[in-house]
């Protein structure tokens, strides 16, 4: 895939989704990536971590400033105690050059630091492990089956460690 210079120069805003419209657009993007393209899920990727307030889910989105188009997103949620998980990292077609993904991951880590989180984990597809390592994450254990396919459990480096 070629990435135009224009895409590299576009200003991207990273923020927590604040409105129902932003959430719906993010869920639509995730559906395109995880249901239609990757076929990780057969009908929907929305689960209890999106819908149950007990998990304190944060949906972080990437918005192109020039036209307010959503070009990516990631979900962070409290699993138990002071452990949080990130997941459903997705970027729109044409924005999979690492810039949107890296921005989302970095913003997620900074956002999670403002919570009670002591451990921030994510299950990462094997082809994305090196990308996460470059962002300061470390693999934990061996590859394992998660959501029906191989994933690597990764841990973010939080400054409090």
Rounded alpha-carbon distances, angstroms, from residue 6 to 71, 102, 141, 146, 149: 14, 18, 40, 36, 35
* Residue 139 counted as domain residue: no
Residue with tokens 């044409």: 94
- Structurally, how many domains does the chain consist of? 1
**Domain containing residue 13: CATH number:** 3.40.630.30
Is residue 119 a contact partner of residue 129, using CB atoms and an 8 Å limit? no
pTM above 0.85, yes or no: yes
Indicate the SS3 state at residue 81.
coil
* Residue 64 counted as domain residue: yes
Give residue-wise pLDDT tens across range 87-106: 999 999 989 887 899 999 99
* Residue 62 counted as domain residue: yes
Give me the domain span that covers residue 65: 5-117
Give residue-wise pLDDT tens across range 108-118: 999 999 998 99
């Amino acid at each position: 895939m070629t990435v135009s210079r224009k895409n590299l120069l576009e200003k991207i805003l990273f923020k927590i989704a604040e409105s129902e419209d932003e959430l719906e657009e993010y869920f639509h993007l995730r559906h395109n990536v995880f249901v239609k393209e990757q076929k990780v899920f057969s009908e929907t990727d929305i689960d209890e971590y999106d819908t149950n307030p007990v998990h304190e889910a944060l949906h972080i989105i990437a918005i192109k400033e020039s036209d307010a188009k959503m070009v990516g997103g990631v979900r962070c949620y409290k699993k138990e105690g002071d452990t949080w998980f990130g997941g459903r990292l997705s970027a729109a077609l044409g924005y999979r050059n690492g810039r949107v993904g890296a921005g989302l991951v970095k913003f997620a880590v900074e956002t999670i630091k403002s919570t009670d989180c002591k451990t921030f984990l994510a299950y990462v597809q094997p082809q994305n492990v090196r990308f996460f390592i470059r962002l300061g994450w470390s693999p934990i254990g061996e590859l394992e089956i998660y959501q029906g396919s191989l994933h690597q459990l990764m841990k973010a480096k939080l400054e409090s460690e």
